[in-house]
Chain A
Amino acid sequence: MAIFEQGDVKIDVDEDGFMEEPDQWNEKVAVALASTEGVDELSEDHWKLINYLREYYAKFGIAPMIRKLCKETGFPLKKVYEMFPSGPAKGACKVAGLAKPTGCV
């Protein structure tokens, strides 16, 4: 386990930089984590995606299928990659405070 520190944000992360304790998530944490993913500023679209991911995660305990994510947020996959260069499963999930996806994802 490692500690990720930026400004007044201090959280436990794994070796890949994903949060160990998703309960510690807040908007400041999201901004700090986004900077590790090459995203300097979180736009309204970013927040829409992050909030959708968090809502689905709270309900089902897992991130949604990518097709569902795109359909429900209205963002084509290409746009998701533009917003989060490392993709929905890695970049977006990390910023939204979800656990690192496992298996062939």
Chain B
Amino acid sequence: MRTNPITPEERGKAFATQRKPEVLKKQNLDVRYHIEDFETNDRPGRFLEAFAAILKHSNYKMALDHFIRMSAKCGRCATTCQVYQATGDPKDIPCYRSELLLSVYRRHFTLGGMLKGRLLGSGYLTDEKIQEMAESFWNCTACRRCTLECPSGIDHALITHLGRYILSEIGIAPRALVVSTREQLEGATGNTSAIPVPALIDTLEFLEEDMLEEKNVEIKFPMDVENADYVFIPAVSDYLMEAETLMGIAAVFTATGDSWTTGTGYFDGINYGLFYSDRILERVVKKIDAETKRLKGKNVLIGECGHASRSAKYYLPTYCGGKDAFPVINIMEYTHKVWKEGKLKFDPNIVTEKVAYHDPCNIARQKWIIDQPRELLKAFCKNYVEMTPFGADNICCGGGGGTISIDEIRPYRTTIGGKLKADQIRRSGCNILIAPCANCKKQLRELVEDQKIDCEVMGLHDLIYKAIIFDDSLIVKKDVQPENIAEEK
């Protein structure tokens, strides 16, 4: 897929910074994202210490030893990277980005590199290089599309993740993510959006009332039910932003009658650790495990969110019991399964608009969830269109890898990160774009607004809520007259 590189004007807009010169000077680091104040002395020394500590306590060394031998810098990844395709800047080619960190590893952590460095007196890590890494690693949306093309099998996204991890250990990480995870792990509310339990309960009761009004069915959000089959953990921001997605999910469970519950002890699937810190990744995953244990649940059910699904599915086994860890499924897998079993009925005449489906990278790249949502959509949408490329080869929304939460880089995300996606949406001519991911939804809404594309972005279950047909036995018969009840008896 090709696009024309951005114009100089667009470039100026995308890279414009909202940051104050005095803060940049004080922090001695020129990046576009806000950072909390951190120790600026001897950054190279502290970077290397953090790098060494991480290597000691992880398996990254094995991967890096392999990558430094295999990296041929052939540049095939350039064709897949949507950031490079938009900027045309060689510094945005994935293997250039990876080399920033690999060269540090080669120089400071391999025998050959250390000897060569000593003999020639060159290549010691500098402040400038840290500056370049701090900027470059957060220009990437961590979509992992480059890993598909690399003939040497180098996982550039893993290197970006490791680079961000080391930087975060010396205090360089976007404030938006740091503040959110601090609230999640140490704050009073225990979730990234800082929603207190009474507000959660108020919200769910409000939605129940709304659904009764609209559908004439008692659709409930069960709370703190023990022994449920599914412990439901969405991206917590859904409780503020995505009413219709949650309503669709509750509607599906009402139609099937399966047991599910939301736990008031922990209800946030968001795990920014996946984007920048393994230590945080582990602690957040453990909160999901603890809440599921507390409720004696059987499965962890993640809502419409790509990274929440991937972080739970792949890291619950890593940190919480290996093969004995709770099974993790995504809500679309559940809805697809019960639909296949004949437990869901849709009205095929409700959705007449042109509908397209956007694959969230975190569930599509590894070919985990691709066909299920499409089969569901085709079951009741008259006019379904496909954007190409799709599935495992999809184009990222442009706000992946945690960048969506960094509001101050919105111009970058909607001008560069999402440029290819905007082209794709425009070409499809869709009126409704389905994005089953809290992250993608926010980014795509900002993208269509900034790029002036006339299209509504929503979740899969938003549409299911519109089209679902309930069994007669579930309809509340509020208009039945007393004498009719007597007759029925």
Contact = CB atoms under 8 A, between A and B. Distances in A.
Given A66-B241, A103-B180, A103-B270, A16 B442 contact: no
Interface string A29-68: 0000000000000000000000000000000111111111
Contacts of A63: 240
Nearest to B196: A61
A9 B442 CA distance: 33
B236 to A, nearest CB: 6
Contacts of A102: 176, 179-180, 183, 192-194, 405
Given A102-B192, A104-B404, A105-B193, A66 B240 contact: yes
A89 B410 CA distance: 15
B2 to A, nearest CB: 31
A104 B203 contact: no
Interface of chain B, main secondary structure: helix
B202 interface: yes
Interface string B181-212: 00100000001111110110011001100100
Contacts of B195: 62
B193 A101 contact: yes
Contacts of B193: 62, 101-105
A105 B199 contact: no
A90 B183 CA distance: 19
B210 A67 contact: yes
Contacts of A64: 199, 203, 240
Interface residues of B, number: 40
A15 B176 contact: no
Contact of A66 (B34, B192, B243): B243
A98 to B, nearest CB: 11
A105 B210 contact: no
Given A2-B20, A65-B243, A60 B196 contact: yes
Interface in A5-34: 15-16
A40 to B, nearest CB: 21
28 contacts: A15-B18, A15-B34, A15-B175, A16-B34, A16-B408, A60-B202, A62-B194, A62-B196, A62-B240, A65-B239, A65-B243, A66-B243, A67-B206, A67-B207, A67-B210, A68-B203, A68-B243, A89-B240, A101-B240, A102-B179, A102-B192, A102-B193, A103-B192, A103-B268, A103-B270, A104-B404, A104-B405, A105-B240
Interface of B: 18-20, 23, 34, 175-176, 179-180, 183, 191-196, 198-199, 202-203, 206-207, 210, 235-237, 239-241, 243-244, 268, 270, 404-405, 407-408, 438-439, 442
Given A15-B34, A68-B203, A102-B405, 9 more contacts: A62-B195, A64-B240, A68-B243, A71-B206, A99-B194, A102-B176, A103-B270, A103-B405, A104-B235
